[in-house]
Chain A
Amino acid sequence: MRRRMSHDVENAAEVDLTEMRPGETGTVVRITGGPGVARRLETLGVKPGVMVTKVASQMLRGPVAFRVGASQYAIGFGMARKVIVRR
């Protein structure tokens, strides 16, 4: 698959958690990858239909911090790539 160019990301309706800007809010559309990842994220309340706000990401594919409801979490870059969000 061709990697999206950065201006595509700016405009794309659907992005993953790593592509969001800090402070940006969106609605989770789906979780890609196996059921294990989806189940693990679900225990945090991250599931389709839920609003997430990105807080920060670390340089060089570091972990991504985000807010769901009143709570904050940090997950690894790989897992964050699997959370697809519509803004």
Chain B
Amino acid sequence: MSEKVAQRRRRILLMGNPNVGKSVIFSRLTGAHVIASNYPGTTVEYTKGLMRMGDELVEVIDVPGTYSLEPMSPAEKVAVQMLEEAQREGERPDVVINVVDATNLERNLNLTLQLLESGLPMVVALNMWDEAKHIGVAIDTELLEKTLGVPVAPTVAITGEGIRALVQRLPEARPGTWQFREEDRWGEVGKVVRAVQEVSHRHHTLLERLSDASLQPFSGTIMGLVVLYLSFRIVRFIGEGLATGVMEPLFEHYWRPLMMQLSHLLGSGGLIHDLLVGRLVDGRIDFLQSLGLLTTGLFVDFAVVFPYVIGFYLMLSIGEDSGYLPRLSVLLDNIMHRLGLHGLAIVPLLLGFGCNVPGVMATRVLETRRERFIAAALLAIAVPCAAQSAVIIGLVGSRGTSALLMVFGTLFAVGVVLGLLLNLLLKGESPEIFVEIPPYRLPYVPGLVRKLLLRLRWFLQEAVPFVLLGVLIVNLLYRFGIIEVAGWFAAPVVRGLWGLPKEAVAAMMVGFLRKDVAVGMLAPLTMSTKQVVIASVVLTMYFPCMATFIVMFKELGLKDMLRATAVMLIASLGVGAALNFTLLK
């Protein structure tokens, strides 16, 4: 009977301060099967995988980084809860691998001491051993091991040095024996550090100079602009390359014949046909306008959005792993605070330029509900996704650079003004920035690849269904004529207030589904440059695409989503009218 009691797999908890290389050690320890999930009831994400320990398969958990066990943030709270869960496992206790940054022994040992108090078997991985040596820090590991009473293994996670020894010492994991007075934890830590560590003098390295420069207001801003510009170029290169070079040909040559056969099979019409394949345009499937789940739905997901998402996630991961992102968030923190956000909000905003759906989902990294609302609203209103930007550039670019600048400049200004307003009008404040700025590091490529794959898988699982659902909903709205009715109501606004031709109403309606397609529908219309500018701006602002809309509902809840929608409608009415009555031609 006893083995019937659902036995939980034994766990190894990787714990330590943020930025000590925990995730790289995690990559080294675990195999290919890694899952990222949210801790129940929170938006805090963690990864887990499996590894072999002796003849046992154990679960390795990359616990969110924490500076102490007196939690100050949601992520730290999760770390403490995971530790408490482990303490409840009586007979076959879980093991803690405490990853310690050898270059910063004092701060790290403060957590080590608290972990020792948990009484769980523990091993210390003294990571960044090479970097410590490099900056002139020598640590007597044997003495440290004796003092703490648990095995201490020096590691260099990035090169893999010492990982094997760490694994070999896992069976030796045991509760620590260090006796100390709790009231004077820092004093005790200081004593240990003085005993085991020797620091020799050294000079500023080139990387440190670069690091300092990237934080100064002037040089940092210039570096930031260069980095952002290059990143966008790379994203565009990857996105366009994959979209036109790989995905579109695949759809054209392999998927289209299959879909045409399906279309014949279903009798070229009828409800099922129209939902799956969509309406035929001149007897052919038009991947952008047919609106079928298997045609437009899949095409938009995989040939329009996904290539850019790959590019954006890649650059985001490089930004994180190289250590540049925290610097950028420090530089931008001030501006972001005025918009009711803080430096870290740059992540969802940047992602939104790829696709608003993962952008809105990434607002989870923000701590307060207020910040999440502001970030999501700004994203949906002022940040055009990659697909949309591409068509705007195509449509407006032919009217000259100044028209293009007008579109993106207006959107930027709208984002700033709206952020300022929301910050003023909404109750509450955004929390102050509090981040570690890790030294610049060359990203560990296998870790980077793995993180990218995890994120892409997450995108496919979480975002793709919403895009499909969006396609389905708009298809139905079309089929039952609801779009036409809405268009009839919208016509006075579109023509009178925004000064657009009546044919633009149809495009506005399609914009509920796909902003990029809607902009594309404007192309055949004869419009003045002014009209093209207004139409592009208004289309971006007035409503998020259906997929973003659904994700906003999921992330913000009904009330906040409706509030955000109201903000969008009012803002687009006002901005569209303002452009119409102030622009000359």
Give A residues with C-beta under 8 Å from B: 22, 39-40, 42-45, 47, 55-63, 65, 68-79
**Would you give 30 A-B contacts (Cβ < 8 Å), ordered by A?**
A22-B212, A40-B72, A42-B186, A43-B67, A43-B72, A43-B110, A44-B107, A44-B436, A45-B106, A45-B110, A47-B186, A56-B212, A56-B216, A58-B330, A59-B217, A62-B217, A62-B334, A68-B107, A69-B106, A70-B103, A70-B135, A72-B436, A72-B439, A73-B434, A73-B437, A74-B215, A74-B435, A74-B437, A75-B432, A76-B433
Kindly provide the distance from the CB of A15 to the nearest chain B CB, expressed in whole angstroms.
20
Interface size on B, residues (CB 8 A): 32
**B-side interface residues toward A, CB under 8 Å?**
67-68, 70, 72, 103-104, 106-107, 110, 135, 137, 186, 211-212, 215-217, 220, 326, 330-331, 333-334, 343, 432-439
Residues of chain B within 8 A (CB-CB) of A62 are 217, 330, 333-334
The 8 Å CB contact of B432, one of A42, A47, A60, A78, is A78
Which single member of A56, A59, A70 contacts B104 (CB below 8 Å)? A70
CB distance from B261 to the nearest CB of A (A): 59
Contacting residues, chain A, for B436 (C-beta < 8 A): 44, 71-73
CB-defined contacts of B72 to chain A, threshold 8 Å: 40, 43
Q: Given A43-B67, A73-B434, output 7 extra A-B contacts at Cβ < 8 Å.
A: A43-B107, A45-B110, A65-B215, A74-B330, A74-B435, A74-B437, A76-B434
Which residues of the other chain, A, contact B67 by a CB distance below 8 angstroms? Answer: 43-44
Q: How far is the CA of A74 from the CA of B326 in the complex (A)?
A: 9
The closest CB in chain A to the CB of B437 belongs to A72
One of B107, B110, B217 near A58 (C-beta < 8 A)? B217
Q: Which residue of B lies closest to A60 (CB)?
A: B334
Cross-chain contact A55 with B212 (CB below 8 angstroms): yes
A63: contacting residue among B70, B343, B439, CB under 8 A:
B343
A45 to B276, CA, bound (A): 60
CB <8 Å contact, B432 and A71: no
Q: How far is the CB of B198 from chain A (nearest CB, A)?
A: 14
Closest CB in chain A relative to B137 CB, distance in Å: 7
Q: Are A63 and B433 in contact (CB under 8 A)?
A: yes
A55 to B214, CA, bound (A): 10
A59 to chain B: which residues have CB within 8 Å?
217, 334
Of chain B, the residue at the smallest CB distance from A59 is: B217
Question: Do B107 and A71 touch (CB < 8 A)?
Answer: yes
Q: Which residues from chain A contact B326 at a C-beta distance below 8 Å?
A: 74
- Cβ of A57: which chain B residues have Cβ within 8 Å of it? 217
CA distance A79 to B137 in the complex (A): 30
Contact between chains at B220 and A56 (CB < 8 Å) = yes
Q: For residue A40, give the distance in angstroms from its CB to the closest CB of chain B.
A: 6
Note all chain A residues with C-beta closer than 8 A to B343: 63
Residue of B nearest to A80 (CB): B432
Contact across chains for B435 and A73 when beta carbons are under 8 A apart: yes
Picked from A56, A71, A75, the residue with its CB within 8 Å of the CB of B433 is A75
Of the residues A65, A71, A79, contact of B330 by C-beta under 8 Å: A65
A70: chain B residues within 8 A (beta carbon):
103-104, 135, 137
Q: How far is the CA of A28 from the CA of B103 in the complex (A)?
A: 21
Give the docked Cα–Cα distance between A60 and B337 (Å): 11
Chain A, residue nearest B110 (CB)? A43
User: Contact between A40 and B434 (Cβ–Cβ < 8 Å)?
Assistant: yes
Contact B107 A56 (CB under 8 A): no
A76:B103 contact, CB within 8 angstroms: no
Q: CA A65 – CA B215 in complex, angstroms?
A: 8
Using CB atoms, name the residue of chain B closest to A56: B215
Closest Cβ–Cβ distance, residue A49 to chain B (whole Å): 9
Cα separation A14 to B110 with both chains bound (whole Å)? 28
In the assembled complex, the Cα of A56 lies from the Cα of B215 at a distance in Å of 6
Question: Closest residue to B329 on the A side, CB-wise?
Answer: A74
* Chain A neighbourhood of B439, CB < 8 A: 72
Pairwise interchain contact B334-A72, C-beta atoms closer than 8 A = no
A63 to B330, CA, bound (A): 7
| Closest partner residue, chain B, to A41 (CB atom) | B434
Bound form: Cα–Cα A73–B67 in Å = 13
> Which chain A residues border B212 with CB–CB below 8 Å?
22, 55-56
Contacts of B104 in A (CB 8 A): 45, 69-71
Question: Complex: how many Å from CA A43 to CA B211?
Answer: 23
CB-nearest residue of chain A to B220: A56
Report chain B residues within 8 Å CB of A45: 104, 106-107, 110
Chain A residues with Cβ under 8 A from B135's Cβ?
A: 70
In whole angstroms, what is the CA distance A63 to B217 when docked?
Answer: 11
Q: Which residues of A contact B333 (CB under 8 A)?
A: 58, 62-63, 74, 76
CA distance A45 to B435 in the complex (A): 13
What chain B residues lie within 8 Å of A73 (beta carbons)? Answer: 434-437
Which residues of A are found within 8 Å of B334, using beta-carbon distances? 58-63
Specify which chain B residues have a CB less than 8 angstroms from the CB of A22 in the assembled complex: 212, 216
Please provide the 10 A-B residue pairs with the shortest distance between their CB atoms, ordered closest to farther: A76-B432, A62-B334, A43-B67, A72-B437, A56-B215, A45-B107, A74-B330, A70-B103, A43-B68, A65-B215
With the chains together, A77 CA to B338 CA distance in Å?
A: 13
